[in-house]
Chain A
Amino acid sequence: KQEVTQIPAALSVPEGENLVLNCSFTDSAIYNLQWFRQDPGKGLTSLLLIQSSQREQTSGRLNASLDKSSGRSTLYIAASQPGDSATYLCAVIWGGGSQGNLIFGKGTKLSVKP
């Protein structure tokens, strides 16, 4: 069984700070890993997708890394802004290769204070 854990559950930082969100998974046989952002009352917005053969992906101020062997991924946010405040969810596609399903963590709720 695959379990995805995100630490911390909540994080509050001052504007401008660099921060790291952590995600761990119990079964390393994942197809890929995806980071999402969710604003209150809204759906999920895909931020970054890392294929199982990749080590990292970057988009603007965001950088996601993947270490399959240790079952870990991190999302690095540089120069945080109040607009980054949201819940960040990590999910892995597992079980069945490309036909596997997304298994989500519970998310990290980020608050960036002006």
Chain B
Amino acid sequence: DAMVIQNPRYQVTQFGKPVTLSCSQTLNHNVMYWYQQKSSQAPKLLFHYYDKDFNNEADTPDNFQSRRPNTSFCFLDIRSPGLGDAAMYLCATRTGNQPQHFGDGTRLSIL
């Protein structure tokens, strides 16, 4: 049973056209993360929510925004995607000292 679900698995958008990626969880974890992973690189943390508290990494571009309307859902909004934003985007959840759980990711392509 999938516990962290990301939709869609593959997303194609045009240069500069806003796009939203979604993540949902059935684990009731209080922490949710968004990572960007480019080919052969480590996942790079963009931001995370600790409950409703939003924490942005210092080097996350302003182009990237996030929303968490409730415990189960979290969204990644890219306002004006550039070619350099093509990547795999990973959502993860955690609670306490338990392991992080990852979704299968959304692969974003920019035309």
Q: Which residues of A line the B interface, CB within 8 A?
A: 4, 31-32, 34, 36, 41-46, 49, 51, 89, 91, 98-99, 101-102, 104-107
Q: How far is the CA of A99 from the CA of B4 in the complex (A)?
A: 20
B42/A105 in contact, CB under 8 A? yes
Q: How far is the CA of A31 from the CA of B102 in the complex (A)?
A: 19
A49/B99 in contact, CB under 8 A? yes
B105/A98 in contact, CB under 8 A? no
What are 29 contact pairs spanning A and B, CB under 8 A? Answer: A32-B97, A34-B99, A41-B88, A41-B105, A43-B90, A43-B102, A43-B103, A43-B104, A43-B105, A44-B43, A44-B90, A44-B100, A44-B102, A45-B102, A46-B99, A46-B100, A46-B101, A49-B99, A51-B97, A98-B96, A98-B97, A99-B50, A101-B33, A101-B48, A102-B43, A102-B45, A102-B100, A105-B42, A107-B42
Q: Which residue of A lies closest to B107 (CB)?
A: A41
A34/B42 in contact, CB under 8 A? no
Q: How far is the CA of A85 from the CA of B74 in the complex (A)?
A: 32
**B:79-111 near A, CB below 8 Å:** 88, 90, 92, 96-105, 107
CB B26 to nearest CB in A, in angstroms, measures 15
Q: Which residue of A lies closest to B10 (CB)?
A: A41
B70 on the A face (CB < 8 A): no
CB A31 to nearest CB in B, in angstroms, measures 7
A101/B90 in contact, CB under 8 A? no
Interface centre among B96, B97, B105, B107 (most CB of A within 10 A): B97
Residues of chain B within 8 A of A101, CB atoms compared: 33, 45, 48
B48/A42 in contact, CB under 8 A? no
Q: Which residue of B lies closest to A104 (CB)?
A: B42
Q: How far is the CA of A91 from the CA of B37 in the complex (A)?
A: 14
Residues of chain B within 8 A of A98, CB atoms compared: 96-97
Residues of chain A within 8 A of B88, CB atoms compared: 41
Interface centre among A43, A46, A49 (most CB of B within 10 A): A43
Given A41-B107, A101-B48, output 9 extra A-B contacts at Cβ < 8 Å.
A32-B97, A43-B90, A43-B104, A44-B92, A45-B102, A99-B50, A102-B45, A104-B42, A106-B42
